[in-house]
Amino acid sequence: MVDNSKLFEKYTLNNKVEVPNLLAVAPLTLFGSNPDGSVSKEEREYLQSRATGIGLYILGAEAVSQEGIAFATQPRALSDKDIPSLEERAKIIKAQGALAINQIHHGGSLADSKYSGTSVVAVSAEIYNERLTKKDIKKGNEKKQLNNDEILRIINDFAKATELSIKAGFDGIEIHGANNYLI
């Protein structure tokens, strides 16, 4: 038999942050933002209906770099212009009593130039490009290999997204590095 007696008790993390209870919402990719990544009416309604009674709510896949945008309507933490949307997401979650965690993400080789308007980048373009057909190459699906300066810029983009998230009121961040995304 499972002991649920502590499920609804407060929990203190090692850094002394108190989580209201042990219930958490794992990060979900929602596809609900506006095309520019800002909060849509549908996203707002979704978030307002999901964080009640939750201790920790982790938002999903907030882009850190323009070339890292992987899907239409992806939320963004690229610059100060994204702060109002970041603030709104954090406020909606926190108003329901949950801690708000922003998951930051770079699509890397899985980004889509159709949404980013830039070349798709990869750690090793050769690995990805050798699988492409001539038709893929004609469509512009070739990946561009990152150089050292670009890698350092993307590291700084993750730092900037973290700074923007904290400035907007998030309680923390999570770096999304699963599914072959760039970290």
Q: Write the pLDDT tens digit of every residue in 43-93.
A: 999 999 888 999 999 999 999 999 999 999 999 999 999 999 999 999 999
- pLDDT tens for 136-165 read 555 555 677 888 999 999 999 999 999 999
Which residue do the tokens 């889509």 mark?
Answer: 112
pLDDT digits (tens, 9 = 90+) for 94-140: 999 999 999 999 998 888 888 998 888 877 765 655 665 555 555 55
pLDDT for position 179: 84
Q: What is the pLDDT of residues 21-38, one digit of tens each?
A: 999 999 988 889 999 999
C-alpha span between 152 and 148 (Å, rounded)? 6
pTM: 0.88
Report pLDDT for 141: 58
Q: How confident is the model at residue 182 (pLDDT cuts 50, 70, 90)?
A: confident
